[in-house]
Amino acid sequence: MAATSLDYKENCADPVAEARALREKIRVHNANPPAQSNAGAVATYNAEARALNAQKGPVAARLRACAEAFFQMKANHPLSTVVTPSKDKLSKIATAAGKLTLAQKRAGSRWNPETYDFLKYGPGKPGMTTRSDRKPVPLPSSIKAVYKALDETRPDIPRTSYLQGVRAPAIGSADPAYPGRRINGVAFDHIIPLRRLVTFRDFLKLTPRNMYLVANSPANSQWLSRAANSSKQSGSSYFVSGASPAWLQAQAKLREKATKEVQELIAALLKSQGA
């Protein structure tokens, strides 16, 4: 599947650069054929051609995997825009991620125990004060550094942007989290808290750029009232204190949807990296 839009080239910057580099190597190679009378040079030239041609398929596959991932994202969230990191933000994430060992990348998901059941939670249930999502287990310092880097590089999202199909609610409008109350401020919210996202399967194997794209993807973004966002505990909107039970249930379903989409995006981007 081909794509030529600016969004595509920006979102898939790494595989696009890899494809361009390969095309340039092929161009240089083709522009410098050896004299046919030099058998040794011809043999070397042909060997280089075979090596370059062998790279075409894998490079194209990685580019296609990235393109298809964002085509799917666009299909799921047609009104949303994928935000990309500035050089400064990317550098901060890269510095933290660069300190991870291969073993830590492989073992990161051990700190993400799937012990919660969103739809069975409710106000006053004992599990809400003991389960890992309410009180997460401590992260190793290396993984915590990646989380902090992502947290410190959150994007500035204009209130005119669409998240989950809607723009930021108007100041003074009804707050869906708190029936009878009005919104006095709005906030960009990560549906899957970054603290938990860094422990998702294979997340730490992503490039710093792809970590940022996943963390702030349309699948993982929503608008919340400032009051609801401020009262979150452990980063999960499902634990907003005093909120409407119906709204909490809706948040639970939204997070289950986001979890599926984000895990699929991680897998696709990992494939685009050739991993």
Distances from the Cα of 180 to the Cα of 114, 172, 175, 183, angstroms:
34, 11, 7, 10
Q: What does pLDDT average to in each consecutive run of 10 residues of the chain (275 residues)? A: 50 90 96 95 96 95 90 91 93 96 79 50 46 62 94 95 95 94 94 88 94 96 91 58 81 88 94 86
> Which pLDDT does position 104 carry in this prediction?
84
> Which pLDDT does position 114 carry in this prediction?
52
Give the start-to-end residue ranges of the domains of the chain: 6-76, 87-272
User: Given the structure tokens 């050739």, which residue do they identify?
Assistant: 274
Of 196, 180, 183, nearest to 233 (Cα)? 196
CB 181 within 8 A of CB 175: yes
- Its pTM stands at 0.83
pLDDT tens-digit series, residues 146-203: 999 999 999 999 999 999 999 999 999 999 999 999 999 999 999 988 988 998 989 9
> Which pLDDT does position 119 carry in this prediction?
45
Round to whole Å and give the CA distance between 230 and 116: 22
